[in-house]
Amino acid sequence: MSKSTEKFGSGEARLYTDLQVKALSGKTIIGKASKQVPGFKSQLDKFEQQIALGSYSKSTLHNYARAVAGISLHFQKDVLSLDDEEINAYLFSLSQQDSKSDTYFKHCVYGLRFFFRMYDREDRALKLPSLKGQKKLPVVLSGPELKRLFLAPQRQKQRIIFALIYSAGLRISELKGLTIGDVDFDRKRILVQKGKGNKPRQVILSDFIATGLKKYLQGAKPRYYLFNGKVKGQPISAGAIQQSFRLAKEKAGITKDCCVHSLRHSFATHLLEHGTDIVTIKELLGHADITTTMLYLHVAHIPRRKVKSPLDILYAEQLASKA
């Protein structure tokens, strides 16, 4: 292990932002672009400013920075110096690669659009191709599938993480940032300090998970973050959670095309199926717009009820007397 790696593996890593660490490592796509492409490092600083201002989530700007780093490395020059034909050719090549997902292509277009606007180049941002919304219905796990998934991991920590995400409808970024003090066992609530858009909210602390959490805390003895990562004093990484999920999914024999976020989808859908109103679910999920929450109406199995006219309800007593 090099001295620089040791430096970032210690408490000193807290002095650096995630993007700065990646830029200095030279191993990630951001690090390679920082070392090989003139001017990219200063452009990365602008991304950092937006993170500091809190106008975008860290994960969103990391994805945008990776996208800009990718095209910078491809041409080995500053994105601002690229002409429209070069950018369109690059985007077309991405769209033809089976190895690149639709999400990666979307991040690239959105990242470039954000990048040009960051430099007051609205004209170039508008020239980028528009993306048609291809909303897919969320994948929802059944009760038996969830039970098998929760039992699959050997480590208690992983079982608790999956059950906690499902029980409270958490995003993976929200789970990562939870501290011991965010869990209120008495009031049966969990405080999510920084939800999407840096909006705090309270979520449910299930009685079932509370029991398991207490046992986990007694055994693991975390000091600050609820779930520690490999680096001392740092939270668990999203990659570690995703990898654990893939292994647990395979072991549980689940063939659906699901991911960690499917646990959040399952939480919302199951609440809806058990009679929770859509507005309450919206607040629990931390959605800014209720139309996002209404997507779950398309996948929830809600039995149809016999509908009565409100007029008959209004005059129910008179109707009963005539019967």
Give the residue numbers annotated as catalytic, written as ranges.
171, 196, 261, 264, 287, 296
Residue written as tokens 């800009």? 68
CB burial string 32-46: b at 16+ within 10 A, e below:
bbbeebeebeebbee
The token pair at 265 is 């989808």
Taking the C-alpha atoms of 3, 67, 115 and 93 in order, what is their torsion angle to the nearest 10 degrees?
A: 150
Phi first, then psi, for residue 191 (nearest 5°) are -95, 115
The token pair at 287 is 């959605």
The Cα–Cα gap between 277 and 143 comes to 20
Kindly tell me the burial class for residue 227, based on how many C-beta atoms sit within 10 Å of its own C-beta (0-12, 13-18, 19 or more): buried
The token pair at 308 is 């009565």
Residue written as tokens 């654990």? 244
The Cα–Cα gap between 124 and 291 comes to 31
Return the SS3 of 237. Answer: coil
